């Protein structure tokens, strides 16, 4: 548990929103997007196990999650994006796991699926 004042919490949210908007604005320009893509391996070393398209998808999803966290208070969005893409990198890094993940399921019956509305 962390105790903080309302003003400190507002400043933290304001800082996150500003950083999010800055990164989103950078992505709209080729040089900015290139710079962000070049910086990713320093922040997330595991991206080396993602192909170029996956790195772009991760970047877009991460920036969207940052925006959601800043603008909507969706605090888990960033964590989910990072964890899911790190799991993808982990599978890509292991040839046996990657081969298994890419194996067609064929005619396997996976059972009934419940739909919750």
23 in a domain, yes or no? yes
Domain of residue 89, residue span:
15-101
pLDDT tens-digit map of 6-37:
887 777 778 788 888 888 888 888 888 888 88
CA distance 3 to 33: 37
110 in a domain, yes or no? no
Residue whose token pair is 């003003």:
7
CA distance 9 to 79: 19
Q: How many domains are contained in the chain?
A: 1
pLDDT of residue 42: 94
Residue whose token pair is 């070049």:
38
> Max CA-CA distance within the chain?
58
């Amino acid at each position: 548990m962390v105790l903080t004042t309302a003003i400190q919490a507002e400043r933290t949210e304001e800082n996150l929103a500003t950083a999010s908007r800055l990164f989103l604005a950078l992505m709209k320009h080729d040089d900015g997007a290139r710079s962000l893509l070049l910086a990713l391996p320093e922040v997330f070393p595991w991206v080396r196990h993602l192909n170029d398209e996956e790195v772009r998808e991760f970047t877009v999803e991460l920036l969207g999650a940052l925006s959601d966290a800043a603008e909507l208070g969706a605090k888990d969005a960033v964590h989910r994006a990072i964890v899911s893409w790190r799991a993808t990198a982990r599978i890509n890094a292991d040839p046996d796991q990657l081969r298994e993940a890419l194996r067609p399921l064929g005619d396997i019956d996976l059972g009934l699926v419940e739909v919750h509305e």
